[in-house]
Structures are given as C-alpha cells and as structure tokens.
Structure 1
Amino acid sequence: MKGESILEFIKKSGKPLSFKEISDAFGLKASERKKLKYTLKELLVQGKILRNRKGLYLPIKEAKLVTGFFESHRNGFGFVIPDSPKERDIFIPPHATMGAMHADRVIARLEQSRKREGRIIRIIERAVKKIVGKIEKSGQIFYIQPRKKNISQQIVVAPGDIKIKPGDIVLAEITTYQPMVAKIVKVFEKPKTPREDLEILIYEYELPKKFPKDVVNASEKLFLKGISKTEFKNRVDLRELPTVTIDGENAKDFDDAVSIKKTRNGFILWVHIADVSHYVKWDSPLDIEARKRGTSVYLPDRVIPMLPHELSENLCSLLPKTPRLTFTVEMHFNKLGERKQSLFYPSIIQTMERMTYTSVKKILIDRDSEEIKKYKALVPHFEKMAELCEILKSKRKKRGSLDFDLPEPEVLLDIKGDPMGIIKAERNLAHFIIEEFMIAANEAVAEFLYSKDVPCLYRVHEEPETNKIQYLTKIIKNLGILKEDLKPSEFHEFIEVVKETPYEEIVNYLILRSLKQARYSPENVGHFGLASECYTHFTSPIRRYPDLVVHRILKEFLKKGKISKERKKELEKILPDIAIYSSRMERRADDVERDAIEIMRAWFMKDKIGEEFEGRVTMVTPEGLRVRLEDYYIEGFLPVSYMTDDFYQFDDKRYCLTGFKRKRKFTIGTPLKVILSKVSIEEREIIFELL
C-alpha cells in the first residue's frame, strides 16, 4: 500500500479521519488492514500526518503545525527550524520544549503568530542517542553532566555493572528520555594528548570509526579494476586541455580541476568534477553508506571520509598526470562576465600539475621568479584565471552577494600531533579563483535543471529574521558606524563601507552571526548570501552527498533527454528526506569541527597560565566578555567576576559593559590586555582575567 495515495486521500478529505474511514474508502479486507496500520505509522514518523487526541488522522498543514529541527540553547529555550525554507523559525520557550534535545526532529504548534512563538507537541526522531559527559553525584544518585553545551539536561545513570566515580568521563546510551536515564557503555581514561581527546569527540558525535565490510569489499573491487579504456567511450576527451587542480597543501581528495581559454569575445571556462556517480550507484552499499555519512568530516589531525580511501583519495581523486573520469561544466562568458552558454558532459581529463593555493599566490601576487620558472607553461593560464575571477567577483558583488573575507583558524601540528600554533588561515587570490569558478559551475547546473523542471536538491539560504536584523542594527549603531536601521538588501554595501577599517572583521562577524544557516531543499527559494536566484552544490561529490545526487540527476536527464513522470514522482518522494538528512549531517560536521578547534585551543594554552596577552572583545554578555587574542587565533572568556578594577554593569541598549566608578566601557572591538587565568581541558574553556 503506497503512502502517497493514503496521504493524498487524507489531505483531500478536508476533515480528520478515523482508521475505519480510511480503510473503508480504499475497500480494504481484514488481511490488508495491517499494511494500512504500518503505512499510517510511517507517515506519522515522517511527520507528514498527525493523530489527534481522538485518534483521528489529519495532515500537518491542516493542523497548522510545523515540522522541523530543534536548535536548543544552554538556557533551556530554543528554535524550531522548519523543513520548508519558506517558513520562518519558531521560538520555543523553556516550558514548551517537551524535553526535546538539540537537533531532534519535532512537530511544533505556532501559538503566537506575531511573535512567531510556539510549543513542541511531538518529537518525531531523537538525534542524541548516546552522550559523553562527566559523572557527578548527588546523595546516592549518579548523573551525567553532558559535555555538549547545547544540552541543558542532566541525565540520571541507570544501575549497571560498570563501576564509576565522580569526575569520570563516560559514554552512555540513553534508555529513556522522560525521565532522562542512561546506561554507561564506556569509561574513558583521562586524555593525556589532544589526539586522545579527539577520539572522545568522535564517540561524542557518534561518528563512524570504520566502513562496513560490504562497503570495503566494493571499494577494493573498484580500485583493483581501475579505469579501463572501454570507460572512455561516450566521453569528451579533454586530456590535451591544460588542466590543473588547486587545493591546500594537505588535501588528498581532489574533486575539482579547472581549465581556461581566452577568446575574442571573452573566456571559456571548464570546471571538471570527479565523476563519482560512475562508481557509486543508487542504493548500492557504497551509496547507502555515503548517504548515511552525508559529508566528510575534517579534524585537525585526520579526515573521516564520506567514501573509502580507495575512492576518495585514489580512483575518484583527480591525481596529477593521471587519466580520470570527470563530469565537465563548460561555460562561455563574455568580457563582462555574463554567461552566454553552458554545456554539461561526461569527460576524461589528465591534469598537468597538482597546484597549491600557496604556489599560485607566489606566481600571481609575489611574482616569485623560481615558482614562475617552475610552472612556466601554466603561468599564462593562471593570469587568465585571475582576470576572469576578478570580473566574476565584481559582477557577483554588484548584484548584492555578501563578500565575507573572515579568517579561519588553522591548527599547526608537530610530529606528535600536538598543536604548536593556531593561526589565521588567510585566503588569497588563488582561493578566490577556485571559489568563483565553483560558484559559477553550481549556478549553471542549478539554472539548467530548474529551467527543465527537473527535481533537484538546491542549496538555499533565506533572508535573516527581523529580530536578528534589529539586534544586529542595535550593536552596530553602538559602535558609532551606523545611524539608520540596516536592511538585508544593504548588507553588501555596508560590508564594503567598513572594508579595510578597524571594524571590518567585527562587522563581518556580526552580520554572519545574524544570518540563517544555508541548507539543502528540493524547493528553490534562492541563496541570500550569494544573491543567487538559483543555486545548488555540484562541485564536491567526493565529500558531500547532495553533490553526488545532483550529478546523478543531471547525468540521467542528459542521457535520456527528459525525466519521465514516474521518475519525477520517485525523485519528488526521496529528495525531501535526503535534503533534511544531509542538512542535519552537515550541521553535525560543523559542530564537530568547531569543537575540535576548541580542544586544540585548550591543549595549546594549558601551559601558558599566568602569561599576559593583548586581545580584542568579540562578544559582550551580562556574564562577561568574549576575547580574541592578537598573537594567536584563539578566543576565551573574561567573566565579569574577574574584572576586579571596578563594578561593571551590562547596558543592553548600548550593548556594552560599563564600570560604575571609572566609567571604563567595553564593547565589541574594544582592545584590552588580559592574563590567562584558567584552562579546562574537560570543559574546553579558556578563562582570562583583566590586566
């Protein structure tokens, strides 16, 4: 019994229906009613229908309910991020969370439309099944204090065989959620190195430690087979085209390469992407595992890949001077950077060199004679790339794209894997070249599939919420660099105004914090950050599952020249679930990577207690200041209680802390000197006191 027909019937009924009414409408025999129960249960789990207190079934939209993910705050409240990108987030006060935890999939009822406030009425799927935390004791009861800061609940330990004591770091499996009870699975030894701490983090986020046997066998079989000449058939042979990959020094999974040619009218740009879909077929063991992982996770000392190494670092990776199967996006631009033609086809390439961002920068910016001599044949190509990059970047900025240039932290490791420095990973022209070319390819693919009315996974990014814009405006006004209210349509202009001023990084950071998180959706609502009407992810199929899906859809359409009605229905059925799950896995990867940096920062600073540092305020709260150091790309917290030179009060109108006697004021961007007071490896906290 198909769920779509049952769902369609419930939607069209216009009233809540009983099990008998549904069964009678489909003329089901007694033997078939068991299947109907199973189908209705599946629709309930998927969040597509609801069962009310009288046991009647009705569609979610009819009940004015919203399905989405819960984002919790350590203070107990949270937000439901709706599955549909057309709906705004719903604020959930602490008393209305129904015990939902961070990243749970939930159904919420909107109770105050104007304030966009509601309550969770059902938890569809639990995201957190295992927990890592510290054992604490109250009377005779042991409980776990979770390490994740967005989990506010304390979890009672169920009686078990494993001996524990206060202070132990444990892995526990949640057995019941109301009340919250967990069974101890593992007691960790106190980590002696950052690597051991990262191992605990992997358990904390339930990241896969190895691939299943059938996946390993499938990847090894493909690897041993290699690439045969029969696979070159029906592919455009581009091996004579001067082609390069440009990546970081430590990259191993090269999934994109580029070629360029200057013409009388403009440029031809080829973006070649590893043809992962040639090896990883729908619903194969490799595909099922890749879908489950969703994305590769990059930690300072390792990568947890979406695909086995035989594929991600060899057969699919665009290794230098080696024939590789690719999917090419060929784009013809005029001199103004307008795309006049796009072609998509399976191809075969052979890169001339494996270039790094550093090397290309030496050629184009530093004009390093040795580097120019080493890559003499490619230098003209890099110069053309730089020229087209500037044209595309300028065009994108004019249409309203937000051109953030925020530095990322880079952890420098010694031979033992310990952090010996944490610096700003500055981006250069070479980064911008690849970024612009990938954006262009992603837009070309998205616009093509959209124009053909082919179901697709889009990369969407909605406008920020009104309350976030008001909050942002209030802070920036207090900095004295804004007089009127800021509108989302003016963000890109304001970013340009503060460029190369002392406020540049702070303003970029604040605007970025006010934005929603981009995600995947079968609905095209555009990409606010890129000011793009139609955008997808196509350029990284080795490390992102949605890209692999888009490859398959595009390849299928090009091969058949159309998508049949039946196939269209199949895609429309599976794409929403893939979009929701992939977005969730992406958020998990972001959280893991952020926590891994926090771990490295704590280990790096632990021997520097008592040392003095210069820093700058990046956030102000009633509890204290978030401070980033000048010498290292490290942030820590300065509690108000450690600011002993005065009594400081929080001014929420001016968004600052002001001394009661001396009137010394701290707001975002204020420079200050601090002493490192405390480092907690367990809590991943760095605490400063005011000098």
Structure 2
Amino acid sequence: MSLVHLTTHPLPAIVGIMIKGNIVEYIDQQKIISAVILQEKKGKLRLLNENNREVNFSEKRLSHISQICLDTSISRDSIVTQLKQLTQNRKKLSEAIDIKELWEILHEESEDIDIETMTLFCFDPPLTSDHEAAVIRAFFHDRLYFKFNKIIFAPYTAEQVKTKKRQIKEAEKREILIQKGAAWINDVLNNKNGSNTRIDQNIIDVLKSYYLFNNDSASYLTARNIIKKSPLNSPEQLFNVFVKAGVWDQNENTNLLAMQIPTVFSRDVLEQEKNLASAQTNFFDDPLRKNLINTPLITIDGQSTLDFDDAISLENTETGYTLGIHIIDVDAYVKSNDPIDLAARDRASSIYMPDDKLPMIPPNLSENLCSLKENEIRPGISTIIKMNRFFKILEYDIVPSIIKVHTQMSYTEANLLNGKNDPITTLYKIATLLREKRLKAGAIQITLPEVNVWIEENQEIGYLKIDRENPARMLVSEMMIFANSLMAEFLANNNMPAVFRSQPAPKQRLFKGIETSLTLNFMQRKQLSRAMVGTDPEIHSGLGVKAYATATSPIRRYHDLLTQRQIKAIFGYHKAYSKAELENILQSISLTIANVGRVQASRKRYWIIKYLESMRGSTYEALVLDCHRDHYNVLIKEFMFEAKLPPSGIKLKYGDIVQVTIQHADARRDQLSLFV
C-alpha cells in the first residue's frame, strides 16, 4: 500500500509489512528522496538513499512504499545506481502528468480521489509502483490545484485556485524584492550606489518601515529577509545605509517619522490656502464686530516668531484703564470640516523644534493672513477689561472685533522699556497684581528656566537659557492666563461646552508665592496633580482660577481653535459643537497631542546631546534629583537636561550639587555618559 503526505508533520502509520530491500521514498528539505530498507525493527528503519547516505528513519515519515524490492546483497554502489535510475524514471513519468488539465476535469466533482484512482486518471494500465510514485512526485511539485490529505486528493475550488495564484505571484514578487534589496544594501556599502544605480522606492519604503516600526511593520518579514541576505547584522545598521545612500540626513528626525506626524499639506489644503490668500473679505461689513483698529495694539514675542496670534492694548480712561487682550480670529478664515481644518485637526498642534517648524495650518495663513502682523487689519476676538486707577477689575466684555497691531516688539525690547515707558510699565504692574491675586487663590508657580536650542545656518548648535520670570515673559504669560480664565467664565456663564483645562489640588504644597530654588521647584512639580482636559468648567488649582479654557493660540493649537468657535457660536456666527462632538474630537486628537509633546522633547534632547558630543571632558554643575540603587538622576543646570549618573563611591542625596564630566555622548543612540 502507498501513502502521500506533503507537509513536514509526522505521517500516519503505513499499513502493510515492510521488509529488507523494500524501495521507499521520503521527503527531506522539500525534495523526494528514494531509498532502500537495510534494516527494520519495530517501525524503526535504517535506509540507504540515492545519495549514498545511510539514514535512520521512522516508517511513519515515509511518503511512499513500493511493492518491489532490491537485492541488498549486491554492492552498495550498484544499489545506489539502481536507486538513481529509479528516481530518473519516476521523474520522467511525473513530467508527463498535466495537473492543470486534470483539475479542469475534476474540480467540479465534490468527492475526494484516492491514490489508486488518481493514478488511473494519469496513466493507462498496466500500472506499477513507479506510476503511483510518479503521481505523488507530480502533485508534490505542483500544489496549486489539489490538496493532499494522507492518500486522498481533493481539488481546490476555482476561487481557491485564483487566491493561490495571487499568493504565488505575491511571493515571487516578494522574493525578487528581497534579492534586489540585499543587492542594493551591498552596493551602498561598497560605494557602488552611484547615479547610474536605480533605486527601487518600494525597497526603501520596506526597509524604512522596518527600521522605524520593527516587528510592528507590515513588511517586517520581507525586510528581515533582506537584511539576512545582506552584509548587515541588525536593523539598527540600516540608518547608516540610508545616510550613505542619501535617503536620510545624518540628523534625520526618525521620531517624527515613527510617530507618523504629517510634514506636508495636501493639494486640496494648498489650493484652499491659495484661494483664501487671494480672496478679499471686508470685515467692516460684519455688524457684530467692534472696530478697534485705532486702539494701539502691541505684540510681544520671541525675535524669531513669525506667527503672531495675540496682542495687548492699554488705554487710559477718566476713571482708570481699559485693558485689551486680542486674539486673531482664525475661524474667520478656517471653517469647521473644511480641508484646512481637517489638516489642522490631523496635526492638532504646531511643532517647534531646534531644526524645524511644522505649522498646524499652512504658512501663508499662520504667518500672514491669520497672523497679527504690524499695520495689517485683522479679524479678532477681543477681551476688553475696564479697571479703575488701582487696577481693580470693574467689568469685562468679550467681543468679535476688527484690530490692527501698531507696534511689534520682542521680549528683549519690552524688557528695556519696562520702568521707562508706557504702556509696558503699567502692563507689567497689572500683570504683577494679577499674579499676586492668583497666588493668593492657591496658584502654584513653578519657576524653572527654559533652554532654547537652535541650529545656525552653518549648522552650529546654539542655545540660550531663558528666565521665564523676566518682566516681558511674565507680562505676556499673565495676560494670556487672565484672558483664558475670563473666556472660560464667559463660556460657563453661557452654558457652552468648550476645551476646559482643570487640575486638582496638589498632593502636597511645599511653598507659597515665588520660589527660586531649583530643588524646591522640582520637588513641588512632583507633587502636582495631573492636569486634565474636558468639556466642563472646573477649578484649575495650579493656576488658581475657578475655570480655565485654552483660546489664546488658535494658530498653533487645535484646542484653542475649537474653543474660539464655541465663543463665536454664542454670538450666532454658526452652530456650536455639541458636548458629544467636542468629546469625540478631543478623543481623536489626544494621541496626536501626546506625540507632539514627545517629538518636541526628543528633538530638543537630541540636539543637546549632539552639542555635548563635541564637549567630551567638559565639566558642568548638576543637581541630584533622584537617588536609585544603581544610579542617580541629575539635572545638568546649564542645559536644564536630565540624565543618569552612575554611582561613584561618593554618597549623594536629593538636592546635592555635583560637578559632572561628559564621558561619552551619542545623540543618535540617545546616550550620555557622565562621571563625577
């Protein structure tokens, strides 16, 4: 009796008696091998195969047993010669079988076909074991049309054959891609990837995906096989291959790619941007807007700022002052669910990095039409606050407006004017009183310096430690907090859902007022409760306000654009988002916002370590932040940069100041080694 089995799993037992000299076949490394039984004992066989090798085998693993026997008493070379001749005869017989033709005749039959019947379909009698073995060989090499189940043949359906053909074609394409990919890597490493070498973009995409996402890549199996056939030892080495081939820059922002943050705008977005830029909108025709173009607005920003979304004004009155905090009305141009709005939602925020800036909305809007540029008339949302001569708030109003910036100045310029000229001097006094009021209400002011990092045109890395408590920065910060809290109150009074921020009371309060100690500020920061975003107004203990909404940066943050639209809905400009709609949007962009924070932090970290690569042996002052069994967490004060410090025999504690030396820095691997 004969049996066929075409998988690598153990075969079922073969019925019948096997004796010395029986010719058998088995499958090894996807090949059918002919052999003769030299010895049989309780199902264990010793075989001599056609390759003149003796092997031990279980009878359960045989694919075919012939009824004929060889004389094992003849010489070994003669046996091997006969086995080879037998194999050639069976191969020749198998090549005469047209499996496709058989399938076309049989595939509509529902019954399975046994080996004896299939052999009769393939050959005319008289039939021998060679014919039966030839059938097995033919169906083993062409598995497209029939499924094997022990000694049974089952034709696939037409749909199954179509699917298998597609799979085979895809497998062939994949194998070609693997061979080409390995050859490309080899050419790059051997400097053969010149201008005459055609780069298959599909190969690049497969390898990029594997480098960025590893086993989560949809094509990781293909990429892994490319690397196996190439001179590389690990996926990490792909980065240098991409750099050498000119695919990536030496400082490629792979985190941006891995987080799949969009870096370009679609054609639809750019077309709408072009239409908006060329359209003439007369906001003076809007009866709801208050004309404030003669009110002297000031913007105060960093020297490199190009997108201005907020401005401040201060006017003297008979009874005191009129303070104005004015925000560009982005919604006047970007409507809910239009192409630009959907692209902004997809981005959720502008991204600012030392070497790049990715705006939330296209530059012709963020830096021009939707920017409060000097002497340009713009639509706005203005918060107007009436104060007496002692800066006590008498009343406030929030209105759609038409505004014009009269003066644009930097933080440095504003600081120079403070104490010398108005309105900066008076604005600073108001900001100081606003802060004092918040602190009395329980606000916790974390006063940690910030380090600004940038890349010069000559690719040198520049950095500057910024005191966020300097007068101009504090002034702007307090005015924005003030405006956001008033807008939150306005929304709450009108029962309007919006993007509200809240924060429960801290776990522990370590100081009141302003504290300049780095140690205490870091300790207090650890004690803060997690801030939350929701659609209902709640207390924000960290800021010391009863309600807080984000609405002052609609160019840069999608949260703020949403809230701005809710404010305008109160005036009847359009239908407001429902609470459920807002919650769905907030949920959909929450991961993107988290990724924006991660990519900004990681890119800043990258360039600081990159700077330190050239500072090996340099010493910096560091603050001990955490003590662990195998390391300390320290803050390198010069860069406000947190790093690990290995133990050195000197017992350190939280708050200690130590001198640390740069031992090794590798920005690409995110490595920084320090020693005391």
- TM bin, normalised by shorter chain, reads 0.5 to 0.7
- Aligned twin of 2:628: 621
Cα distance change, pair 230–263 in 1 and its aligned pair in 2 (3 A): closer
Match of 2:304 among 247, 250, 265: 250
SS in structure 1 at match of 2:447: coil
Match of residue 554 from structure 1: 567
Are 1:401 and 2:446 counterparts?
no
Residues 263-288 of structure 1: CA deviation (Å, up to 9, x unaligned): 45543211110010011111111111
Equivalent in 222, 233, 244 of residue 166 of structure 1 = 233
CA contact (8 A) 2:325 2:384 kept: yes
Counterpart Cα distance in 2 of 1:351 and 1:191: 49
Q: Give the secondary structure class of the aligned counterpart of 1:439.
A: helix
Q: 1:283 corresponds to which residue?
A: 337
Q: CA deviation at 1:388?
A: 0.9
Matched AA of 1:576: E
1:452 to 491, 494, 498: 494
SS at match of 1:386: helix
What is the alpha-carbon distance in structure 1 between the residues aligned to residue 208 and residue 549 of structure 2? Answer: 35
Residue matched to 2:544: 531
Instruction: Within 5 Å, give how 1:201-600 maps onto structure 2.
Output: 201-228=255-282, 234-263=288-317, 265-334=319-388, 337-364=391-418, 379-421=421-463, 423-424=465-466, 426-464=468-506, 469=507, 487=508, 490-493=509-512, 496=514, 499-500=515-516, 504-559=517-572, 571-600=578-607
The 3 A distance-change label for structure 1 pair 276 and 575 is: same
1:601 and 1:589 map into 2 onto residues whose CA distance is: 19
Deviation per residue, 1:79-112 (Å, 9 max, x gap): xxxxxxxxxxxxxxxxxxxxxxxxxxxxxxxxxx
Q: Quote how far apart the aligned CAs of 1:667 are.
A: 1.5
User: Which of the pair has the greater relative contact order for Cα pairs under 8 Å at 6+ separation?
Assistant: 1
The code of the aligned residue for 1:686 comes to L
Q: Provide, for residues 158-217 of structure 1, a one-character-per-residue CA deviation record: whole Å limited to 9, x for no partner.
A: 23474463354489xxxxxxxxxxxx9x97437999974353232122111101111111
RMSD: 3.3
Q: TM-score if structure 2 supplies the norm length? A: 0.63
1:638 aligns with 2:645: yes
Q: Do the aligned residues in 2 keep the contact of 1:261 with 1:384 (CA within 8 Å)?
A: no
Q: 1:607 — aligned with what?
A: 614
Query: Contact 1:132–1:170 (CA<8 Å) still a contact in 2?
Result: no
Distance 1:553 1:133, change over 3 A: same
Asked if structure 1 preserves the Cα contact closer than 8 Å seen for 2:494 and 2:570, the reply is: no
Write the letter of the residue equivalent to 2:445.
D
Q: Is the 8 A contact 1:602 1:681 kept in 2?
A: yes
Q: Is the 8 A contact 1:169 1:187 kept in 2?
A: no
Instruction: Give the deviation of 1:230 after TM superposition.
Output: 5.5
- In 2, Cα distance between the equivalents of 1:168 and 1:190? 15
Deviation at 1:324? 1.4
Which whole-Å CA distance do the structure 2 matches of 1:450 and 1:262 have between them? Answer: 30
Task: Find out whether 1:678 has 2:648 as its counterpart.
Answer: no
The structure with more radius of gyration: 2
Change (3 A) 1:606 1:687: same
Measured after TM superposition, the shift of residue 452 of structure 1 is 1.8
Q: CA separation in 2, counterparts of 1:319 and 1:518? A: 33
> Could you tell me the percent identity over the aligned residues?
25
* Counterparts in 2 of 1:362 and 1:380: CA distance versus 1, 3 Å: same
Following the alignment from structure 1 to structure 2, what is the Cα–Cα distance between the partners of residues 194 and 627?
33
Structure 2 partner of 1:55: none
Offset, 1:421: 3.7
Q: CA deviation at 1:513?
A: 3.0
- 1:602 maps to a residue whose letter is I
1:296 touches 1:304 (CA, 8 Å); kept in 2?
Answer: yes
Structure having the larger proportion of residues in helix: 2
Shift of 1:668: 2.2
In structure 2, runs of 5+ residues without a counterpart are 1-205
Note the C-alpha offset of 1:522: 0.9
Q: Give, as a single letter, the amino acid of the residue that structure 2 aligns with 1:435.
A: S
Check whether the contact 2:553–2:560 (CA below 8 A) recurs between aligned residues.
yes
Match of 1:668 among 654, 659, 667: 654
Answer whether contact 1:325 1:346 (CA < 8 A) is retained: yes
Going from structure 1 to structure 2, the CA distance change for 1:681 and 1:258 (only over 3 Å counts) comes to same
Provide the secondary structure at the position in 1 that maps to 2:269. Answer: helix
CA distance in 2, matches of 1:271, 1:216: 31
Please state whether the residue corresponding to 1:411 is helix, strand or coil: strand
Instruction: Give the deviation of 1:587 after TM superposition.
Output: 2.1
Q: Is the 8 A contact 1:462 1:525 kept in 2?
A: no
Q: TM-score, normalised by structure 1?
A: 0.62
Cα distance between partner residues in 1 of 2:635 and 2:246: 26
Give the AA of the match of 1:557. Answer: I
* Count of aligned pairs between the two proteins: 467
- In structure 2, the residue corresponding to 1:380 is in which secondary structure? coil
Q: Secondary structure at the match of 1:677?
A: strand
What's 2:28 paired with?
none
Secondary structure (helix, strand or coil) at the match of 1:608 reads coil
Residue 318 of structure 1 and its aligned partner are, at CA, apart by 0.3
Letter matched to residue 533 of structure 2: Y
Distance 1:204 1:510, change over 3 A: farther
| Contact kept in structure 2, 1:521 and 1:580, CA below 8 Å | no
